[in-house]
Amino acid sequence: MGQHVHKLIQDGIRKGMDYAGYISMMNDLVDKGKATGTEQNEERIANTKLNAHRLRRIEKTMTVPEEKLEVFQKIPENQIWLVVLESWCSDGAQAVPLLHKIAKASSKIELRLVLKDENPRLMDYFLTNGTRSIPKLIVTNEVGEVLCEWGPRPRTASKMVTEYKKRNKKVDDRIKKELQMWYHRDGGNSMLDELIEIVKPH
């Protein structure tokens, strides 16, 4: 990895928010009737409000088995988990509470959150199938070297969206509702297993 992307990652880590800062930002946006990002529209503002509620609900109701948290507690080196997202991103609202619970349980992990539209050059190094899909988790060591990445959603959920797009040529409200129902049933388990897969020493 070149010095340029290394500097972008370091900058992202430095200016990133912690979880409490992110929640505070979300609440502030709801109070002001705004969303993050360069484009403000009714849908994004409504999604931000919905996501603020989602974050609180998921954090309260999601439980992570102790034996799975142990995997993250036993990571051999300190890591920084840098997440690129936006307030209006529904997949981001599903992912962040789990990432927070993992980081809170492990002294080896520091969670930082940055906004996509404020970090376009960083985002462009971590595209998914050529697109700026979020959320994107970039796992680095203490000096900012990338160890692995994850996102924008668990494999099963990504497959659902891909197959729906093939059939219907678009992503609409129907698949968005189906996706939220899937997330609710899954309870974060698929994402948790995928994160264990990428951080476990091979």
Kind and range of the H or E run holding 57: helix 42-61
Question: What single string gives the DSSP state of each residue in 62-124?
Answer: ----HHHHHHHHT-SS-EEEEEEE-TT-HHHHHHHHHHHHHHHH-TTEEEEEEETTT-HHHHT
Instruction: Using a pLDDT cut of 70, give the percent of the chain over it.
Output: 99
Domain spans in the chain, listed from the N-terminal domain onward = 3-153
Contact 189, 154 (CB under 8 A): no
Question: Residue 166, exposed/middle/buried by CB under 10 A (0-12, 13-18, 19+)?
Answer: exposed
Could you read off the pLDDT of 1-39 as tens digits, one per residue?
A: 577 888 899 989 899 999 999 999 999 999 999 999 999
Using the predicted structure, report yes or no on whether residue 202 has a pLDDT greater than 70. no
pLDDT interval class at 187 (50, 70, 90): very high
pLDDT value for 201: 66
Q: Which of 1-15, 89-103, 181-195 has the lowest mean pLDDT?
A: 1-15
Using the predicted structure, report yes or no on whether residue 95 has a pLDDT greater than 70. yes
Q: What is the mean pLDDT of residues 129-138?
A: 92
Q: Which of 156, 190, 162 lies closest to 175, judged by CA?
A: 162
pLDDT value for 130: 85
Using the predicted structure, report yes or no on whether residue 173 has a pLDDT greater than 90. no
pLDDT value for 82: 97
Contact 151, 157 (CB under 8 A): no
3 vs 135, higher pLDDT: 135
Task: Specify whether domain 3-153 bears CATH 3.40.30.10.
Answer: yes
Give the C-alpha separation, 202 to 200, whole Å.
6
Give the C-alpha separation, 187 to 88, whole Å.
20
Collapse the DSSP code of 32 into the 3-class scheme (helix H, G, I; strand E, B; otherwise coil) and give the result: helix
Give the C-alpha separation, 6 to 26, whole Å.
28
